[in-house]
Chain A
Amino acid sequence: MTFLIQQTLIYAVPLMIVALAGVFSERSGIINLALEGIMIFGAFMGVLFVNLAQTAGWFVEAKAAGNWMALQGFELLAMLVAALMGAIFSLLLSFASVNLRADQTIGGTALNLLAPALVLFFIRLIANQNTLQMAKGDAASWFMIKKTTLGFEKNADLGFLGNTLLHKVYLATYVCILIFIVLSIILYKTRFGLRLRSCGENPQAADSLGINVHKMRYAGVSISGALAGMGGFVYSLTTANCTSNGDVAGFGFLALAVMIFGNWRPLNIAGASLLFGLFKCVAAAYSSLDINGDGVKMLAKIGISSHVYRMLPYIITLLVLAFTSKGSRAPKAEGIPYDKGMR
């Protein structure tokens, strides 16, 4: 059960944060199909930062001295770099769709093509192979929080909650949840959030009240890019051992589906991403999954092909969308370039 919850969270948190990235962009009126590309780019930049910092010997002493606080700071720094680079990368989308009034779907597709190409081009040049890894050690030994790092005995029992939430976890997971909550509040309870949302519903009305639609859309897409970039790095840190290979296994697209399934609302999105995280987790680990803790690996015993489990998240997405699409309500002005002169 502990394993199940932890694994579900590991898959659900990047989905959640990237789906929120989609919300910020679409609520400001820009369709962000490039989430996948921005994730790939952010993941690469984060891993590259970790790699370069290690090569430069920045946190090596802290690691040798067992200073885990410094290492967690290192992790946060890498997340920040990924977010920053994601935001910069997303400027390509906002420039095309706000200033040049380009087709947002095609612009997003271009970014989705550009990110893996650029990333693989540089990875091949840097590492002479198709995967960029950490320069020293692995993600678990550098960044993972374990009982022993927190000062507990190796075989201390922290109870169910302690074992689940404090042993073998990443700080990034909790930071993302925190950011998710804060940004959801900003979106709904602040002046900025209201203005952003108004630009996605009726930009003409917003403009008539003195809101700069172009600025708000730039803000929406940039926040979106920052979140997606960070989500990409968190994904690669927690599921891929802090490596980058120009691929996030379709998570950006899945996040888009989660966003639509969650009806562009943060709370629903959190629920939806937990559901998908669960399915992803089952698909990845069904053969060794012990749900109720009695040592019987139930799912492996049923004998369904692993391919079925791998297909499941996508089939469920399609089915769920089929049932919920009638009631879904997208921001009204999304995808339409803002034109002052339009009625």
Chain B
Amino acid sequence: MTFWKKEGTQKILSSLISILFGLFVGAIVVFIVGLCNERISLKGAWEGIRLIFIGILSTGRNASGSLTWGFNSANIGNMLFRATPLIMTGLSVALAFKTGLFNIGAPGQYLMGTLGTLFIALSIPSGSMPGWLIWILAFLGGVLGGMLWGAIPGLVKAFLNINEVLACIMTNWIAANLVTWAFDESNLKNMVEGTKSGYIYKTTYGLVDGTYVDGAGIATTKLGLNKIFPGSQINAGILIAILLAIAVYILISKTTLGYELKACGANRHAARYAGIHDKRNIVLSMALAGGLAAAGASLYFLSGNTEFFWSTYQSLPSTGFNGIPVALLALNNPIGVIFAAIFMAMLDIVGLQLTNLTAYNEYITDVIIAVIVYLSAFSLAIRMLIAGKAKKKALSKSDGPAPAAPAEPAPAVDLAPAADAAANTEKGGDEV
């Protein structure tokens, strides 16, 4: 098998094509809007297009008003910092996909993780125990909150046959209200800095004699990363996220549990026939996914320089939803998730650059992400095109047990038990 015909190569290529196509669509939108809008003109459109592709290397404008380029340590450090929670939510969605579940509940799990982490980090009086212990407790508390929240859709899916997509959506909104309620009743609202309203204390605030004092709390260690990327928010969280991604990779590909989870994803009924507890695995998979998404929130809010806007009952955190494109782009590969998340974080920074430097705004990067997700829905077809196979062949093959494409978790499309059974029996037939 030559290099170009390897499955791994084709998978990566199909993702790269999706990315390039998404960026081009973004550039085209920017170009057309620039032509139609006299405020922007062709020069502004050209600036916008350049920023979309290499905005991460932008260093602002010089005295004569043209864009300057170069290594921007603050941008790259911030990119890695923003990638941290995205890696975790991406892992969450990818792990659930492996079990044939579509975890659209990552925003809710992320919120529950925020709740657990902030309550523990801010409620323990500083000095009563070492800071690193508080950090670990807060992290674990957040993860536990997310696991419990993720287990709910898993439970109703396994035992009541409620579609997990719907259950996740409902638990998302319940979580949004629950979190708002809990913080509303709490005394963790930032009262010290008078100019800010609606925010919870940063974790650098610590409880000293009943009042919150800045600097007495905890924050993730920087491990010298801030020396490499001066001016950015980066900390050791990114390393923890990468380690967790490797751990998930080992769990999925090297352990019995991972094999059982994957077997449930491929064909739940066949897995049960082979003696695998399919219901237990569904609940476990959702709980683990919830824990991972919540860990993202813990890492983000324990960094010490992030604040949580607590009145969130009308909106869900986009970090949670962005786990879906990350997982799809990475084709559910935990190692791939690291790179996909860094790419998404880069788009985030690019969006900020667009808002700050041009008349465009950051939502164009969301358009790019949406286009990439749209393409990944038929990445199998793209892969077939790369492989240079005839269309007819591609159609007949996509019914078989095509390995690990995002199109593969077909069980995710069952909106009801009847369809579920039908889909699976027919798939099972093909696999024999």
Contacts and interface: CB of A to CB of B under 8 A. Distances in A.
Given A101-B398, A121-B363, A33 B378 contact: no
Contacts of B173: 250, 311, 314
Contacts of A103: 377-378, 406-407, 409-410, 412-413
Contacts of B398: 101
B415 A330 contact: yes
B321 A113 contact: yes
Count class of interface residues, chain A = 35 or more
Nearest to A114: B370
A105 B363 contact: no
Count class of interface residues, chain B = 35 or more
B163 interface: yes
Interface stretch (A171-179, A214-222, A291-299, A334-342): A334-342
Nearest to B364: A121
B361 interface: yes
Given A105-B102, A111-B374, A307-B180, A339 B174 contact: no
Contact of B370 (A113, A331, A339): A113
B160 A342 contact: no
Contact of B177 (A307, A317, A334, A341): A307
B352 interface: no
A102 interface: yes
A7 to B, nearest CB: 18
A257 B363 contact: no
A117 interface: yes
A117 B166 contact: no
A265 to B, nearest CB: 13
Given A114-B374, A121-B361, A325-B162, A310 B366 contact: no
Interface in B84-118: 102, 104
Contact of A104 (B166, B370, B381, B413): B413
A131 to B, nearest CB: 14
Contacts of A342: 399, 426
Contacts of A322: 156, 160, 162
A123 to B, nearest CB: 9
Interface string A108-128: 011101101110110011000
Contacts of A26: 415
Interface of B: 29, 33, 37, 102, 104, 156, 160-163, 165-167, 169-171, 173-174, 177-178, 180-181, 184, 313-315, 321, 324-325, 328, 359-361, 363-364, 366-367, 369-371, 373-374, 376-378, 381, 395-396, 398-399, 406-407, 409-410, 412-419, 422-423, 426, 429
